[in-house]
Every structure is written in C-alpha cells, then in structure tokens.
Chain A
Amino acid sequence: MIALIQFLKGYLRIRVWGFSPERFMNLCSMRNILLWDIAKEGDVYYMNISLKGFRSLRPIARKTGTRVVILQRHGLPFFVPVLWKRKIFILGLLLCISFWIFSSFFIWDIELSGNYQITEDIFMSYLKSNHVTVGMRKRDLDIEALEKGIRRQFQIVTWTSARLDGTKLIIQIKENDTPPILSEEEEEGGKDLIAPFDGKIISMIVRNGVPKVSIGDEVTEGMVLVEGKIPVLNEDSTVREYQYVASDGDIIIEHTITCEETLPFDHIEKEYTGRTKVKYFLRIGNIEVKLDEEQPFLVYDSVIREKVPVLFQKLSIPVMAGSITHREYSNVEYTYSEEEAKKILSEKINEFFSSLEEKGVQIIEKDVTIIRGSSAWMLNGSLLVRERAFMQADTVVGPVPGEDTAAR
C-alpha cells in the first residue's frame, strides 16, 4: 500500500555527498521530509526522497554544504509525460480496450448439446430463422422465448436450457428417447408367420392367426407356421369369407447350426524398434503449419495429439497445436503354437455364443472341435439351438370356396 502511494506521488533516488551528509539527513527529518532506503558507499550516500520533499531541498543542501544529484526517477508523475508523448500508443490502447468491451456485447459462438435426432444444421437454420445468429447483440436475445420456441418447433424436445456464458450461447436440449407410439394402420391382406429355417417345433403359443403346425412337427424353411387368414364359417361349416390378420405368436424351433472358424498358422506382428521422432504442428482453420514433411522412417505408425489452447477455446478461435509421434516398427512373422491357436479360436467361438445369446437364442448342445488343417487351424462346431421364429410373409389371398360355388 505504501509502495503504491509512493508510486502515485512519485519519488527520486538521489546521491548525496559533501561536507556533512548526516546533518543533511537530520535537517530533512526536522522538516518532515521522508527519506528511505539510505545506504552508504564510500563517502557517498544514496537515498530515496519524495518528489515534494526534493523541491524544498535546495536550502538544506546549501546549509550543510552537500551536493545532491538525481539518479533515478520513479512513479506516476514521471510516467505520464512520457506516455503523453506517445499519443498513438495511448489511442491504440484505448481503442483496443473499447473494442474489447464493445465486442463483449455480442454473441460470438453458439454451442448445442444433447441433440441426437435433430441435426445441428436443422437447429441452426431454425435459430437463424428466429434471428438468433452469431454476431447478434446479447440484449436482443430473449432466452425464455427462445427456449419456448425450441420446444414448440421440435416436438421431440422434452427439455431445453439456454444460457449465456460470456460471449457464448450454450443451448442444451433433451430429446424424447422413448419410441413414438405409431397408430396401427389397418393393413390390407394378412401376414403369415413362416419358418426361417429347418427344424422341429418345441413350443407354440399362437396369439393371432390359424396354426398350421403343431408341437413336435418337423418344419422346413419357408413353411407357413401360422396363417394370417382366418376363415369365417357359415352355419353349414362352409367358408363364408376370410379375415386377414397379422399373425402373431411365440413359436420356438429347435434346429442345428454349424460354425466354422479358421486361423492361419502364421501372423505378422508389429515390433517397435524404440526409435521415435516427434514433430510439432500448428493448425489455424484449415491451414496446417509443419516443420518438415519428409518421411521419418521406412515403416512406421504415427500418434497425433491435438490441443486447443484454453484462451482460444474460450474465444472459439480454431487454432490448434499438436505433436505427431512417429514410431518405427518392423513386421515380424510369428507362428501360433497349438495352445495359442486354441485360445484364440475358443475366444472367437465364445464371442459367437454370446452374440447368439444376446439375440435370445438358447443353446442346448455344443459340439466344437479344433483341428490342424493343411494350411490353417480349423474350428468346426455344430450347435443345437432353440430359436424363436418371427419371420413374416404376406398371406396368399385365396378365393373363398363359397364364392366359387356361388359363381358357378
């Protein structure tokens, strides 16, 4: 605090020498002239004195027979005239500050998050049509109206929040992720449930349609399991007409599937030599500045790290700096041992099993063998599985028998 006051009032570093410098100091203190940082080198004294005190120093110096020389000038009273000479500099500084303040009244970036189905382009064009654009004045933005407008325009948006962070408009939305309820359309013609593969029916629950097979039946691929054509009978049990429906039911078919996997004896692995080269680059917009373009090694891969400086992130200036690490490697051929091959193949088959289970397929029996083929390791498997049939096909629209007779 004292240093600040001293700076504002201005002070001098002076050199005092002559007949009686001690008396000079005593007289200064008598006249309430503050002296500080007094040091002595040889016969010469150095000290700081306030600007006001220095102006009344002449009689003291004369009385004590000392000489006073100014060494340094410090503080605002000396700085202002220097600054005043550089009018253009001050003007530039003021203009810069005023531009800075002026530009903070505008929105310079719009950030959208939480959109999955609404694309950014659609959203931005909506904002543009509502005169919410980059470069608009902050006070012209009605955030509440904008939030309301977004919810009204996009039915899928269930929640929205817009806020200003500095010169950035941040819009967060939440979309309705439950699937929209579609009104069931009356379809013309029915749907059959057909067997997607050969097999044996294990269980059967029919909710809609006419079952054509029963539990225990062997079915072939493409066979109709449930027909979407329900006959409406007359009193004499002849068919009056057909009602076409989308057949529905849980039909479990047991069938056998086979799987095959091969693994070549040899494989190539990257072996890093340990030699690396790091290159740095700077990207401004689409322009990339690299130090050199020459190929670092014969065979290599590269790891690119990019970083946007925090200052540019806040200002949304597309400046990116980063490094590319080139790592040299050599391709080395390896041969799998039997254990390794079995391990890799069994991992693959386990992945296949879990993908089946994810689909809701129940595995009843597994029979997997791994053999050494002529050129590769081979895995053959046969699985007995139970799977639900949900393949649909259009019901064949047939003539109503009654109509035929009537026509005759």
Chain B
Amino acid sequence: MKKSSRLARQKENIVETLQLPKDVCMGALRVTLTGNSEAWIENYRGILEYTGQTILLQGKTCQVCFEGSRLSIDYYTNEDMKISGCIAAVRFL
C-alpha cells in the first residue's frame, strides 16, 4: 500500500516537473461547467447511477457526483459526455 502511494507521488512529481497535462498522464477527470446549467465531462470510466437528481460517474482515481434537478444527459460517448439541467453541487467522492 505504501509502495503504491509512493509510486503515485513519484509519478505526480515527474508530471509536475515536466509540466505535462495531468488529465492525460494521471487519468484525472476533466469537468467543464458553464454556469450551473451545463457540464462537459471527459476521462471517465462510466455511469454508476443516474436519476433526475443525481448523476454519479466513475473516474480512474475517484468518483464525481452531480447533484441538482432535471438532470439529463445530452449525449454519452466513450470520450466525453454532456449533462444539462440545474446543477446544484459537484462532489468528489
């Protein structure tokens, strides 16, 4: 466990030193919000839960939860997705 966290930190250090984009190298989630009505999400693994009030997405390292009302998915592909509706909160679990 310690070894893996050490490796992760080393990797993060290298990425930071070389100034590489973290979403590409670390597999971090990339969320773009336009006000509270639209959100574009990249680098995710899949949907874990989808209701009108919650959309829970699985990333490589963490999960992200969009909370709000009248949430809908405008499109959903392997690369990216777009959520629209009234977004009240974005939580990382």
Contacts and interface: CB of A to CB of B under 8 A. Distances in A.
Interface of A: 21-23, 25-26, 28-30, 32, 34-40, 45
A319 B36 CA distance: 57
A36 B74 contact: yes
Interface string B6-28: 00000000000000000000000
Contact of B75 (A21, A23, A26, A35): A35
A35 B50 contact: no
Contacts of A22: 46-50
Contacts of B49: 22
B76 to A, nearest CB: 5
Contacts, number: 51
B69 interface: no
Contacts of B5: none
Given A34-B76, A37-B75, 6 more contacts: A22-B49, A25-B47, A35-B75, A37-B73, A38-B76, A40-B72
A38 B84 CA distance: 10
Contacts of A40: 50-52, 72
A32 B47 contact: no
B34 interface: no
Contacts of B4: none
Nearest to A21: B50
A22 B49 CA distance: 6
| Smallest CB-CB A-B distances: 5 pairs | A26-B46, A38-B73, A36-B75, A22-B47, A29-B78
B72 A37 contact: yes
Contact of A36 (B46, B50, B76): B76
A227 to B, nearest CB: 107
A40 B72 CA distance: 7
For B45, B49, B51, B77, the residue with the greatest tally of chain A CB atoms inside 10 Å of its CB is B77
8 contacts: A22-B46, A22-B47, A25-B50, A28-B76, A30-B46, A35-B73, A39-B73, A40-B72
Contacts of A34: 75-77
Interface string B29-52: 000000000000000011111111
A66 to B, nearest CB: 13
Interface in B38-93: 45-52, 72-78
A29 B75 CA distance: 10
A32 B77 CA distance: 7
Nearest to B70: A39
Given A22-B46, A40-B51, A40-B52, A29 B77 contact: yes
B57 to A, nearest CB: 10
A26 B47 contact: yes
Contacts of A21: 50
B17 to A, nearest CB: 34
A38 B77 CA distance: 12
Contacts of B52: 40
Contact of A37 (B46, B74, B77): B74
Nearest to B45: A26
